[in-house]
Amino acid sequence: MIRILKYGEVENREIFTRMAPKAHVEDAVADIIRQVREEGDAALYRFCETFDHVTLTALEVRPEEFEEAYAAVDADFIRILRKAADNIRRFHAAQVRQSFVVSGENGALLGQRIIPIEKAGLYVPGGTAAYPSTVLMDAIPAKLAGCGEIVMVTPPGRDGRVAAPILAAARIAGVDRVFKLGGAQAIAALAYGTESVPRVDKIVGPGNAYVAEAKRQVFGQVAIDMIAGPSEILVVADGGANPRHVAADLLSQAEHDKLASAVLVTDSQALAQAVQAELEVQLPLLEREEIARTSIENNGKIIVADTLDVVIDIANELAPEHLELCVDNPFDYLDQIRHAGSVFLGRSCPEPLGDYYAGPNHTLPTGGTARFSSPLSVDDFVKKSQFIYYPEDAFRAVARDVDTFARAEGLGAHGRSATIRLEDEP
């Protein structure tokens, strides 16, 4: 049963269960990466047999597999995937940046160019569940950014195939190539390249502890979006919230992973007790009851505070991945929220609406990193380059200022690079 605690009975930093990577994970991942670097495809095939329990004859999904998968998916679900993709595309299109040029004095031009990443690598989890939603959330911003090639990796099933809904989503989102790879070995393949898998410039997407650690270890060889931990939800609710709805929202994240954290913070003791009871009613109804119950009993909490102002302070300190404001007039509190991955406003806006359909991205910062990082966006798939142009007259007018600045830093050659141009006749 989930615990009910008075505010102050547990330190704020311990409200969410946030675990550091274990040493054995770090060592295991380092060894996997080493083997992929040294052996390429041979290591990948071996790891598929070891971890996915399947013997593959090819790593890449063939065109006919896409066609078969698309045909196998229920037509109504294809409609929903397309509608979700449209919503995601509409939201992320507003994030697209433009290059700019600024005019300086005497004809000088200064500018910034927005340049798409050439090759983007997408990791889509498999294992205990398939996530076509992650395909859409990762691929559509990359496509809008103008990436030259989008390469996706995802674990195969025991039949050696990728789940049909994942391939259907990849086709709808415009993924260029898909490989039957999961775990740390997939990250290593994207980072270093093998005979079959192209080396990419950036890797994005969530995964388990081994995937997260692999991303950590290859960072610098390639860029990454973030190091995501177990899923988190913080529900902020007042006494007017429906306990059945709040319990369902907590369980929507608890079923992800036994390490997930689902927490309610409220100013109502009555709501806390009602949600505690309702969780016990709903848990037995879940297909993933064992996972959800472990998460709720080990990591779940209900915190009762005196006022909603205190509740909002708790939310900002926790910087949750998902934050639901199940309160009257939620927009009154939105400006007070400084740290959260994604905010769900009102009693009719459950977190799964954002997971699948509304449009904002569901690849979000976890582990308190929402204090300084952001949801996945088009910005993750572009880089910026600057340029400077000074005509001769414009440069001669500032050359001695450049020289003075350089010499103040003790870098005479820098200054000489400027003043030597003054020695020539204009």
Helix (H, G, I), strand (E, B) or coil at 127: coil
The answer to whether residue 321 is catalytic is yes
pLDDT at residue 426, rounded to an integer: 63
Q: Give catalytic status of residue 322 as yes or no.
A: yes
> What domains, with CATH codes, occur in the chain?
3-18+230-358 (3.40.50.1980), 23-224 (3.40.50.1980), 390-422 (no CATH)
Determine the residue type at 88. I
In angstroms and rounded to an integer, the radius of gyration of the C-alpha atoms of the chain is 25
Read off the pLDDT of residues 103-140 as tens digits, 9 standing for 90 and up.
Answer: 989 999 999 999 999 999 999 998 656 899 999 999 99
Query: Of the residues 65, 213, 255, 321, which is catalytic?
Result: 321
Q: Given a cut of 90, is residue 173 above it in pLDDT?
A: yes
From the list 225, 227, 229, the residue with the least C-alpha distance to 214 is 227
What residues are paired with 354 via a beta bridge? none
Q: What is the pLDDT of residue 257?
A: 87
Among 186, 202, 203, residue whose Cα is nearest residue 194: 186
Cβ-contact 105, 141 below 8 angstroms? no
Residue with tokens 């790879």: 181
Is the model's pLDDT at 91 over the cut of 70?
yes
Is residue 102 classed as helix, strand or coil in its secondary structure? strand
Cα(62)–Cα(135) distance, integer angstroms? 18
* C-alpha span between 302 and 318 (Å, rounded): 14
**Percentage of residues in the chain having pLDDT higher than 70:** 97
pTM of the model: 0.92
Could you say which of 245, 256, 322, 362 is catalytic? 322
Of 78-92, 115-129, 363-377, the poorest mean pLDDT is in 115-129
| pLDDT at residue 423, as a whole number | 87
| pLDDT value, residue 253 | 94
pLDDT at 239 over 80: yes
- Distance between start and end Cα atoms, the chain: 83
